[in-house]
Chains A and B, each alone.
Chain A
Amino acid sequence: MSAPISEQMTAGTGRSVTSLPSARRRLPRYLAACAAGLVAWVALYASLQPLARWLTFEALRLRHETHVASAVEFFVFESPKVLMLLVLIVFGVGIIRSFFTPERTRRALAGRSESVGNILAALLGIVTPFCSCSAVPLFIGFVTAGVPLGVTFSFLVSAPMVNEVAVVLLFGLFGWKVAGLYAGTGVLIAILSGWTIGRLRLEGYVEDWVFETRAVETGIDEERLEWADRLEAGWRAMKDIVGKVWPYVLIGIAVGAAIHGYVPENFMASIMGKSAWWSVPVAVLIGIPMYSNAAGIIPVVQALLGKGAALGTVLAFMMAVIGLSLPETIILRRVLKPTLIAVFVGVVGTGILLVGYVFNVLF
């Protein structure tokens, strides 16, 4: 058990340890709350379907087999379901993320050979806490510490694109196949585009001052967290993220409900269906300059898929919006010369394009 050691460190060095002294006293209370919360979650989740039926047909007295009843039932069932999944998963991922820090990830990747490095970076991108506003300091910190350029890009592609919010929403609304395909191909794009950028030897297109910066190890990640701190981290992530995304989720499900009840299927099939080969590149080109978080794009995805747009086209659009965005490229321009920016967007865009086509062929 590491608890006593970390307390000694706190007391002995008075360093950057933020673990508050009462961490071990807080733990039993937190665990009790978690257990109670989990029981309540399971009970509520299991009764969502009957509750939705009761609300639609008894409380609101809507008639069976009508458009409005179908739309209302869809909304009152799907929205608590997706929000509850989101709460649970974001909390869990928040706890998992507390084991990873950008500093630790950098140490794991520094001096790694490419290929293995690309795979590791794409996977670590999923679990390392990352905010695109930190993309530049992170980029500098990585390349100056000896993380190869292509490996750094694998991280920078996977971190925003493959995130728990996107995966949970896709799972809740479209099932595990769509969610799994999105996550799997997202990681694959991150690995391959980083590997490609590495092969192209573009180090000369990083702004010169970047390599003049000396990498500093701050030891900030030596901080030992108690389990109480990790549960708090999960709670904080849940409040932050769910607090931000719930309106988009509700709008997305409302759009879905309206489609479910009213709009004829295959409405979009002629424009964005499988037979329209050009729809994938158009979706990617429209998606790149757009910027939205994973939740914000869900209403659009919901509307497109519901009206008969092809899965590959829609996923390509979603990846382009989340994974490649104008604001992010503008931020990265501070450290990358225009040629490298263009290569980055081109390589990742091509990967997304291929994923779009492959899905359209497979499904």
Chain B
Amino acid sequence: MKIIVYGPGCARCHETERVVRHVVAQLGLAADIEKVSDYQAMAAAGVLATPAVSIDGVLKISGRIPKSEEVRGWLSPEARG
């Protein structure tokens, strides 16, 4: 599973990365978490507002910090099929 956190390096982007890492660690998942701050890569992924998070290429949130429960929801077995 590949999780990408998009953000140019603002405080809200760091907070987003922290939330994602925290939830992944809590669930004990093996996920490859990457922080992307390159604008071209962001644009290519369709990100218009940061912070944004994608999981396996699907954009999950854009423009705000996710709540832990939201991240947990994206990573739950039901959501991932």
Chain A residues packing against B (C-beta within 8 Å): 14-16, 18, 20, 101-103, 106, 129-131, 133-134, 136-138, 140-141, 144, 209-210, 213-220, 236, 331, 334-335
Contact = CB atoms under 8 A, between A and B. Distances in A.
Nearest to B65: A236
Contact of A102 (B7, B60, B63, B70): B63
A138 B70 CA distance: 24
Sorted nearest first, the 9 A-B pairs with minimum C-beta distance are A216-B46, A140-B43, A218-B46, A102-B48, A218-B59, A141-B48, A133-B10, A134-B49, A137-B42
A193 B40 CA distance: 27
Contact of A20 (B7, B44, B45, B69): B69
Contacts of B79: 14
- Max chain A CB contacts within 10 Å: which of B7, B43, B81? B43
Contact of A213 (B43, B59, B62): B43
B48 A138 contact: yes
B50 A133 contact: yes
Interface residues of B, number: 32
Contacts of A138: 48-49
27 contacts: A14-B78, A14-B80, A15-B58, A16-B60, A18-B70, A18-B73, A20-B69, A20-B70, A102-B49, A102-B63, A103-B48, A103-B62, A131-B10, A131-B12, A131-B63, A133-B7, A133-B13, A137-B43, A137-B50, A140-B42, A141-B46, A210-B43, A216-B44, A216-B46, A218-B47, A219-B59, A236-B64
A240 to B, nearest CB: 9
Contacts of B33: none
Most buried by B among A131, A217, A220: A220
Nearest to A219: B59
A106 B42 CA distance: 16
A106 B43 contact: no
A213 B44 contact: yes
Contacts of A18: 60-61, 66, 70, 73
A260 to B, nearest CB: 36
Interface of B is mostly: mixed
A15 B74 CA distance: 8
Contacts of B59: 16, 218-220
B81 A14 contact: yes
A144 B8 CA distance: 20
Contact of A137 (B39, B64, B78, B81): B39
Contacts of A141: 43, 46-48
Contacts of A16: 58-61
A133 B14 CA distance: 13
B48 to A, nearest CB: 4
A334 B42 CA distance: 13
Contacts of A106: 48
Given A137-B39, A220-B62, 17 more contacts: A14-B79, A14-B81, A18-B73, A102-B62, A102-B63, A106-B48, A131-B10, A133-B7, A133-B13, A137-B50, A138-B49, A140-B40, A140-B42, A141-B43, A218-B45, A220-B59, A220-B60
Contact of A217 (B44, B46, B49, B64): B46
Interface string B1-30: 000001110101100000000000000000
B57 to A, nearest CB: 10
A193 to B, nearest CB: 22
Contact of A140 (B8, B10, B39, B50): B39
A137 B69 contact: no
Given A16-B59, A16-B60, A137 B49 contact: yes
Nearest to A217: B46
A319 B13 CA distance: 28
Contacts of A218: 45-47, 59, 62
B1 to A, nearest CB: 15
Contacts of A140: 39-40, 42-43
Contact of A209 (B40, B42, B58): B40
Nearest to B43: A140
A70 to B, nearest CB: 40
